[in-house]
Amino acid sequence: MKLQIALIGKGPHIDHVSCLIKRAERSSVYRDVNQYQTIDALAATSEVPHVIAIEESLFFEALSSLQQQLKQVALEKGRKLIITDIAADWEESKLYEWEKEFPFAQPTLQIPVPGGMREEVIEDIVYFENNNRKVFIQTKAERYQTSLRLKEVMEKTANFAFQSPYVSYVVHLAYVQEIKQSDLIMKNGEVLPLSQKKASEFRKVFHTYLSSLH
């Protein structure tokens, strides 16, 4: 199943958001993105997408109408429905928040490995490590080598909860149990280093991440 997204509105901003979504890191299930100028145009299709994102200036005017027209249909189909606005400062990270709401659309990373490619679910990645000039990925289930450099890892994970605590590591904050002085205690029992140079920024990002969970 594809994550179906309907964008409602018109003008450069909607076009820009549509382009951002289409260019975003591909997930294991591809996305369908359709644009409509009005609520009525969407309603006329008799389709119920998973996410309806409305241009900010139209949002409150359209919300009541949408709830009446589509929420009941969504319930009848047993489908979850997100109705939200598209603010002027909309960022790609919002897309991944939508995907987390739907189990079939978990975001993944394409991981180049010796001899080919692997696709790894973001939530299963614990950390990346540079060891003797080779980069390894540690997941919940296994550890294997990738041809990615740590700089590329940081770029690929920029929209997710990853941070570097030490020059040779990039860790998934979801797997950090606690910070003890110059160490990270991971939920899988491992202890990873936290450098003095990176400690302040890492603690700040980690605390922000924890706050976002509540």
**The predicted structure's pLDDT at residue 108:** 82
- Position 31 pLDDT exceeds 80: no
**The predicted structure's pLDDT at residue 197:** 95
**Which CATH number among 2.40.50.1020, 1.10.1740.10, 1.10.1040.10, 2.60.120.20 corresponds to the domain 108-212?**
2.40.50.1020
**The predicted structure's pLDDT at residue 125:** 96
Whole-number percent of the chain with pLDDT over 70: 85
State the architecture of 3-105 in CATH terms. Answer: 3-Layer(aba) Sandwich (3.40)
Q: What is the pLDDT of residues 33-72, one digit of tens each?
A: 888 887 777 777 767 788 888 888 777 776 676 666 666 6
**The predicted structure's pLDDT at residue 29:** 41
Q: How far apart are CA 29 and CA 98, in angstroms?
A: 13
27-48 burial: b if 16+ Cβ within 10 Å, else e = bebebebebbeebeebbeeeeb
Mean pLDDT of the chain: 84
Q: What band does 3 get if pLDDT is binned at 50, 70 and 90?
A: confident
Q: What band does 73 get if pLDDT is binned at 50, 70 and 90?
A: low
**The predicted structure's pLDDT at residue 79:** 67
Sequence ranges of the domains in the chain: 3-105, 108-212
Mean pLDDT along residues 94-118: 83
